[in-house]
Structure 1
Amino acid sequence: MSKYRLVLAVMFLSLLIGSIAGGIAGGAAAGYFSTRAGNPTAAVALTSATSSGTLTNTTQPTTSNQAATGSGSAASAAQTLGPAVVTVINHLSRGQGEAQGSGIIIDKSGHIVTNAHVVSGEQSLEVVFANSTTRVSAKLIGADSYDDIAVIQVSAPVPAVASFGNSDALVPGEPVIAIGSALGEYRNTVTAGVVSATGRHLDGEGSALIQTDAAINHGNSGGPLADLSGKVIGINVAVVTSSGSGFTSDIAQGLGFSIPSNDANKVAQQLIQTGAVIRPYIGISYLPIDDQVAAYYNLSVTSGVLVQQVPPGSPADKAGLQAGDIITKLDNQAVGTDNPLASVLMTHKVGDTISVTYIRGGQTSTVKVTLIERPNGQ
């Protein structure tokens, strides 16, 4: 299951108190965020944007927000990118019916990038092009649940190919659009908004996500977030929703998240080439430290990561790292909420030996850790 599929209320609450990089890895951390919020039963969740709806015929992009026409507008961006957006239909195994999401055609060979959770549990896959109502058979090339990216492929000729923009150049306030099969019923639905923030981390690991207020509905998973030139700058993955009596229904509006295109494209190309993504693994679960975490745990520092678990036999275990250690640097590169440990690890290769600087009992020490390939499910 993708790590983006369900995140407890504590993740959203941590956003409200300026700590979205919560990286909750244990019950104590969950208790911390619930206590800080004063509402341990609040029912706000981060959910994937897949759908089980019925496909509705809409061959032209439908813009749901007011937008000017002409070059550089939401409407022109939708017309440019829309033909390269598809509906992905996942016929689930064991007679569980079907689920729907969105995808983006990325080359003339018929490769389509989507979310891993969109194709999870598939028995067979189909896509519907934006200019058609015909279902076309597709095959799974590879899926990476860690970053929630998958690549599927069709053998039929594709109507268009998307262009990718540079997600590293995004700034808050930049106008964007999202395109996808809203609710699995309304194909080619376009919503408009802005980049609300960059560098968001929902669980302390994986890509730093783009936050947007462009509406991301169920069925949008795997679809594009694009700039006004029609270039893909993100892959829509999740939206915060509210439920239960703990919050009013409007508290979670405008909180959608997308995987940056630079990260998604890198993963997609590895999946196309090898069918898998190889990642270095240090062997810990951890909580990124900010002011709130430091205060709650009475820590001596306000940055770094707090080690919560060290699996037996992992590289960290072999190096002598323990739960309760505070890691501050990897190879003299600081780690924390602004520079996630996972991102720093990805600058290294499997087999590399790195220096890990940590604090234990008020004393700073350094050990050497040899990275291994990240095991499945970790």
Structure 2
Amino acid sequence: METRSRALQRAHAAVFALEVQAVDGARSAATLGRERQGSAVLIGDDGVLLTVGYLVLEAETVALVNDEGVRLPARVLAYDVATGFGLVQALAPLGRAAVPLARTPPLPGPEPLTAISAGEEAEVLPVTLVSRRAFSGTWEYHIETALYTSPPLDQHSGAALFNPQGELLGIASLALPDVQPGPARQRLPGNLFLPVDLLQPVLAELRSRGRSAASARPWLGLNCAEQRGELRVLRVADDSPADVAGLQSGDRITRIDGRRVGALSQLWQTLWADPRPQRAVELEIERDGRLMTVVVHAVDRDATLARATGI
């Protein structure tokens, strides 16, 4: 018990508050804000920290704050669309030990796990792993495995999930009203964590190239919702390929590249089945009761992102 307590103390010390300001004119500021706060966890003896990607998207300035309130400069090392992770490089000694990545994926059940966030409203919260299953975002995002935990962290963005040995299991991405795998009488609120299983195969690539090869894929600029086997456009990003092609909120997507789709996972995976970033994507949509075909000229999202001067 004492050994586990020391391991979690070391894990706690490795979680830093992350303060980010996006570049002026960043498109992501419309949904994420220009000033962002969350957490990052030290995973490398060379000062590399892991966080959730949206915190560092289009970042201009990055700072880390340790558990003693000391503020330290940092920079973005990687932003990975495919996994959802971000890497931050500290630009000053952190004086903390890096945490190990878990080698064995956790299983749903009663084993106590610990979620830790940093910052002014830092939390150390015992949680339970409710489920391991795929996740499809309303934005252009899908992963085959995500960790669903409960109860929820209030300040979840970039928070770290640890097993009793102090090994890192995942990074928090979302707060969800219900993390149960199927219909239930009562909702169980919680968080979605990106598992380190996704990170380990691409970590060297993220360190050297700033993103994984899988992130070079077609991007349309759509947010969609799945309801009763139908896909509806929720939002079209300004000046995105979808916007240029004339797609509108409320359009129902019935086919992509000739394949009928009724689930977000089908939509995104079919979009990426041909991984060429710059290609014509054919969408069949229903608008006001009429079927129509729209050709969207997809791009690599990385090419659309704003960057700090000199980067």
Name the TM-score class by shorter chain. 0.5 to 0.7
Larger RCO (CA within 8 A; separation ≥ 6): 1
Q: Return closer, same or farther for 1:232/1:284 CA change in 2, 3 Å cut-off.
A: same
Alignment match, 2:129: 194
Which whole-Å CA distance do the structure 1 matches of 2:141 and 2:54 have between them? Answer: 15
Kindly indicate whether the alpha-carbon contact (under 8 Å) linking 1:207 and 1:259 is maintained by their aligned counterparts in 2.
no
Alignment match, 2:38: 101
Cα displacement string for residues 248-307 of structure 1 (whole angstroms, at most 9, x for unaligned residues)? xxx98732222233345667655432335643115363645453xxxxxxxxxx37x456
Kindly indicate whether the alpha-carbon contact (under 8 Å) linking 1:315 and 1:372 is maintained by their aligned counterparts in 2.
no
Letter in 1 for 2:45: K
Which whole-Å CA distance do the structure 2 matches of 1:198 and 1:86 have between them? Answer: 28
1:324-363 matches, cutoff 5 A: 324-327=252-255, 337=263, 339-343=265-269, 345-346=271-272, 348-350=274-276
Deviation at 1:230, TM superposition (A): 3.2
Letter in 2 for 1:126: L
Alignment match, 1:87: 17
Select the residue among 76, 79, 88 that pairs with 1:140: 76
Alignment match, 1:112: 49
Which whole-Å CA distance do the structure 2 matches of 1:81 and 1:184 have between them? Answer: 18
Choose 1 or 2 for highest CA Rg.
1
- Aligned to 2:109, what secondary structure does the other structure show? coil
- Aligned to 2:18, what secondary structure does the other structure show? strand
- Percent identity, aligned pairs only, is 19
Deviation at 1:103, TM superposition (A): 0.8
Q: Return closer, same or farther for 1:336/1:224 CA change in 2, 3 Å cut-off.
A: farther
Which whole-Å CA distance do the structure 2 matches of 1:98 and 1:285 have between them? Answer: 24
Cα displacement string for residues 34-57 of structure 1 (whole angstroms, at most 9, x for unaligned residues)? xxxxxxxxxxxxxxxxxxxxxxxx
Deviation at 1:228, TM superposition (A): 3.6
Alignment match, 1:160: 97
- Aligned to 1:82, what secondary structure does the other structure show? helix
Aligned residues: 276
Deviation at 1:105, TM superposition (A): 1.4
What RMSD over aligned residues (CA atoms) do the two structures have, in Å?
Answer: 5.0
1:208-219 matches, cutoff 5 A: 208=143, 209-218=146-155
Q: Return closer, same or farther for 1:137/1:289 CA change in 2, 3 Å cut-off.
A: closer
TM-score by length of 2: 0.62
Alignment match, 2:300: 373
Deviation at 1:134, TM superposition (A): 3.7
- Aligned to 1:198, what secondary structure does the other structure show? strand
Instruction: Return the structure number with greater strand share.
Output: 2
- Aligned to 1:273, what secondary structure does the other structure show? helix
Q: Return closer, same or farther for 1:351/1:152 CA change in 2, 3 Å cut-off.
A: closer
Alignment match, 2:114: 177
Q: Return closer, same or farther for 1:92/1:324 CA change in 2, 3 Å cut-off.
A: closer
- Aligned to 2:11, what secondary structure does the other structure show? helix
1:1-378 matches, cutoff 5 A: 69=1, 75=5, 78-79=8-9, 81-90=11-20, 100-119=37-56, 123-128=61-66, 134-143=70-79, 149-154=85-90, 155-156=92-93, 159-165=96-102, 169=105, 171-173=107-109, 175=111, 176-181=113-118, 184-186=120-122, 189-196=124-131, 198-203=133-138, 205-208=140-143, 209-218=146-155, 220-240=156-176, 254-263=189-198, 270-276=205-211, 278-281=215-218, 283=220, 285=222, 287=224, 289-291=226-228, 302=229, 305=231, 314=241, 324-327=252-255, 337=263, 339-343=265-269, 345-346=271-272, 348-350=274-276, 372-374=299-301, 375-376=303-304
TM-score by length of 1: 0.53
Q: Return closer, same or farther for 1:308/1:194 CA change in 2, 3 Å cut-off.
A: closer
Which whole-Å CA distance do the structure 2 matches of 1:368 and 1:306 have between them? Answer: 17
Deviation at 1:153, TM superposition (A): 1.1
Kindly indicate whether the alpha-carbon contact (under 8 Å) linking 1:286 and 1:308 is maintained by their aligned counterparts in 2.
yes
Kindly indicate whether the alpha-carbon contact (under 8 Å) linking 2:253 and 2:283 is maintained by their aligned counterparts in 1.
no
Letter in 2 for 1:326: T
Which whole-Å CA distance do the structure 2 matches of 1:93 and 1:280 have between them? Answer: 24
Q: Return closer, same or farther for 1:123/1:192 CA change in 2, 3 Å cut-off.
A: same
Q: Return closer, same or farther for 1:153/1:338 CA change in 2, 3 Å cut-off.
A: same
Alignment match, 2:180: none
Gaps of 5+ in 1: 1-68, 242-250, 292-301
